[in-house]
Chain A
Amino acid sequence: MAERTIEADTPELRARWGNFAWTAENAAMAKEIVARYPEGRQRSAVIAFLDLAQRQIGAETNTQGWLPIPVIEFVARELDMPVIRVLEVATFYTMFNLVPVGRFHVQVCGTTPCMLRGSDDILAACYKRGMKKGHTTEDGLWTFSEVECMGNCSSAPMVQINDDNYEDLTAERFDHILDELAAGRQPKPGTQEPGRHTVEPVGGPSTLKAMVTENHDYRGEW
């Protein structure tokens, strides 16, 4: 039933990740994160620590990173908290990957506004490249999942790939982004509509037009 499952705790997994430790850079980062909280409240840093660990594993494996059981135990030890409490957090937030993922985690929004604006085309483009929901492609490049609203409805349809959002997509624009990523280049994140910067109205403002050039006082006109 559950789409998310924890990667089985096998001797191979222990051998691979059993001696996980912070890199020098992340160790300094971890220290800084813990220092944000009062003494004895170090548990508050659990989400930040899990994220840091996932990113370190991502850098190590050249993927988006994930959280094997030994690493979750490592975080529990670092923060002096019961490992079941860390596992609860890691399984609760879908941003934490519990199984290995690919180089790019393609999260396509399929909720109503995106669907009305053509997310079905985006999904079709994914299927065409051999992606399957909840799976990683053979070449280890793409992990694909359909997600619920990511809050970019005014520039729908949208896709989140790793840490960046790509908005105002069409199948062609989306294909171009995937090609660029696969080729190792970084496409421009955000809206893909030419001439649009963020989520301002397409074709110029339709309300509060007088505010465009000056700080107009509308109060007399109400």
Chain B
Amino acid sequence: MPKVTVDGQEIEVPHGATVLQACELAGKEIPRFCYHERLSIAGNCRMCLVEVKPGPPKPQASCALPAADGQEIRTDSDMVRTAREGVMEFLLINHPLDCPICDQGGECDLQDQAIAYGRGASRYEENKRAVTEKYMGPLVKTIMTRCIHCTRCVRFSEEVAGVDEIGALYRGEDMQITTYLEHAAKHELSANVIDLCPVGALTSRPYAYEARPWELSKTLSIDVSDAMGANIRVDSRGGAVLRVLPRINDDVNEEWISDKARYQVDGLALRRLDKVWLRKKGRLQQASWDEAFTAIAKAKAGSSVAAVAGDLVDCETMFAAKALLAALGSDLLESRQTGMSYPTDSLALVNFNSTFAGIEEADAILIVGSHVRWEAPLLNARLRKAVKRGAKVFIVGPHWETTFPAEFLGEDAGVLHKLPGHVGEVMSKAERPAVIVGGGGLVAGALHPALALAQAWNAGFNVLHFSAARMGALMLGFAQKGGIADMVNAKPKLLLSLGADEVDYSAFGDALKVYIGHHGDKGAHAADVILPASAYTEKPGTYVNTEGRVQLADKAVFAPGDAREDWTILRALADALGVNVGFDSFTELRAAMAAAVPALGREGLADYGPLPKADAKAKAAGAIVYPIKDFYLTNPIARASHTMQRCSAELLHGEDFAEAAE
């Protein structure tokens, strides 16, 4: 390991580290614009200049200089200080002084570093350059005059997203960043360039001019738009969630989130259920909580009660429902709304066992029935990383546009039983192969056949779920042997729907359907009683992602109107039905849940034990159908969101929203 001296302090740095990283290890702050840990090194902003001996007697760009044994690095000399001032002065020559009307104000790298490392005044008296606005789609607002040409956005779309669409045209002073012919950026991670942009050139279009960063209260939370469990920060003011930003978690989302996770939140204020509704003479009418509870009690369901959990609910809500049903003497619980009935006796069998960080190391990957780009965009970015390291990818299922080279083996799941020779050869010769089964594969019965292949190849076995609630629900036993069909056959008199919007309610005949949820979507339309509940930003909760990682989310804002936190509704319902669920507070509920399922009481990866042996008799058959038809409209919050509706119309269905010059 090379030993370097930073400002007189001797430290050892890892092989391959740059001088910038060495300085950071020594606790020195190095200003930078173009350098980013997760992108390739560009070295074009020149802000990270330091003095390095031995070497030419001039400041060096530390981000692109490898740290070598015996280097003497100065970050505090006069040369460095004046170099930084000079670079900053040049950067500001063409940067407009429009901070008061810039959305980046308050969280702008250029602003902060100009204060810390700038001269404080400009000697430039000529005209500044101006650049025409570029259209980048419904999510990214551009003010390209502010661009300082760091090319982070170009590198992100090429390297991480894998969609070459942003580029730097022209040269020198005339250089302009744009998408090809100003087409909208069309991938699921496009809005991450907003976070990457160190200035206000790329800002958030839906959030434009909404708030200043210092006005917002920041709450740590977990995303529920897919089963990745991306770590997010919810920024809110008063009762409104204004935006969602990613938090850094290298095990889960690195520092990206999908566009849906980021922008579905405007749906939290629309189509909300904020009153109690009761169906009288075939029409839903407003009612009071008491009337609703009386109506439910009047059904006299006894133990003939069932609960189905939706895709977005937290573990506490599901546990409260489970406790209520147990007190009533029923265990008719299900979470797989669309009728899937894969075996759940071993949770390792339906878990993403390789972990997200681990799948990057795989060198051969077989994907069975998963449109990964839509079902888990962040996992897709990981797969791209694996492919860039040399992994081969094979996909069983209908064609989708991959962001890495992949071979499609056929649309029918039956192909698993007669894989082409070269696939078996690559997979069995690989050192760290992995198999991923998606929702489409589960429906086609590919679980055990894929497991058999994985065990034959000694490969990591993974199931990629799509619903944020799925793993938590399975841990809490929200699964019947025959899936939701078993529940239909049991003909319950009372059906509790915990925000379940994908269920075919007509199958339940004249059961009293109680919808406990937050959006007036499909579930609410079918309900007889609607009890308004909280969305994921409005309650604390435990979520388990598809790799079995237990994570906690905090409450950012209060639910609107009469809506309550879900568990309090279920607790009150228990009183109305005259049973005792054994908890009176959220703390007691959590404690009871941790006692019942200890893994839910500990943050981090849950241990599901070893994988069972594959059932050799199981056969996969039938054309694979991906569960997602429209990436932007997969849950009730997103369906209510204007931003997501516009993304769907413009990016997926080709409607033209190109606007007249703003």
The reply to whether chain A is a binding partner of chain B is yes
Q: Which residues of A contact B (CB under 8 A)?
A: 1-4, 6, 9, 69, 82-85, 87-88, 91-92
Hey, which chain A residues are within 8 Å of B176, CB to CB? Answer: 2
Hey, which chain B residues are within 8 Å of A2, CB to CB? Answer: 170, 174, 176
B174 and A4 form a contact (CB under 8 A):
yes
CB distance from B44 to the nearest CB of A (A): 14
Hey, which chain A residues are within 8 Å of B130, CB to CB? Answer: 1
Hey, which chain B residues are within 8 Å of A87, CB to CB? Answer: 167, 169, 180
B166 and A84 form a contact (CB under 8 A):
yes
Closest 9 pairs between A and B when the two form their complex, measured CB to CB: A82-B164, A84-B167, A2-B174, A91-B169, A84-B180, A88-B167, A92-B171, A91-B170, A1-B129
A84-B166, A84-B167, A88-B169 given as contacts; is B174 within 8 A of A69 (CB)? no
B174 and A1 form a contact (CB under 8 A):
yes
Hey, which chain A residues are within 8 Å of B164, CB to CB? Answer: 82, 84-85
Q: Which residues of B contact A (CB under 8 A)?
A: 129-131, 164-171, 174, 176, 179-181
Hey, which chain B residues are within 8 Å of A92, CB to CB? Answer: 169-171
Hey, which chain B residues are within 8 Å of A83, CB to CB? Answer: 180
A94 — nearest CB in chain B belongs to which residue?
A: B171
B164 — nearest CB in chain A belongs to which residue?
A: A82
A4 to B171, CA, bound (A): 10
CB distance from B134 to the nearest CB of A (A): 12
B174 and A85 form a contact (CB under 8 A):
no
A69 to B181, CA, bound (A): 9
B171 — nearest CB in chain A belongs to which residue?
A: A92
Hey, which chain B residues are within 8 Å of A82, CB to CB? Answer: 164-165
A1 and B131 form a contact (CB under 8 A):
yes
Hey, which chain A residues are within 8 Å of B170, CB to CB? Answer: 2, 4, 91-92
Hey, which chain A residues are within 8 Å of B181, CB to CB? Answer: 9, 69
A69 to B179, CA, bound (A): 14
Hey, which chain A residues are within 8 Å of B179, CB to CB? Answer: 84
Beyond A2-B170, A83-B180, A85-B167, 18 additional pairs, beta carbon < 8 A: A1-B130, A3-B174, A9-B181, A69-B181, A84-B165, A84-B166, A84-B167, A84-B179, A84-B180, A85-B164, A87-B167, A87-B180, A88-B167, A88-B169, A91-B170, A91-B171, A92-B169, A92-B171
Q: List 23 A-B contacts (CB under 8 A).
A: A1-B129, A1-B131, A2-B174, A2-B176, A3-B174, A4-B174, A6-B169, A82-B165, A84-B164, A84-B165, A84-B167, A84-B179, A84-B180, A85-B164, A85-B167, A87-B167, A87-B169, A87-B180, A88-B169, A91-B171, A92-B169, A92-B170, A92-B171
A69 to B169, CA, bound (A): 14
Hey, which chain A residues are within 8 Å of B180, CB to CB? Answer: 83-84, 87
CB distance from B144 to the nearest CB of A (A): 11
A3 to B172, CA, bound (A): 12
CB distance from B136 to the nearest CB of A (A): 13
A3 to B131, CA, bound (A): 12
CB distance from B80 to the nearest CB of A (A): 32
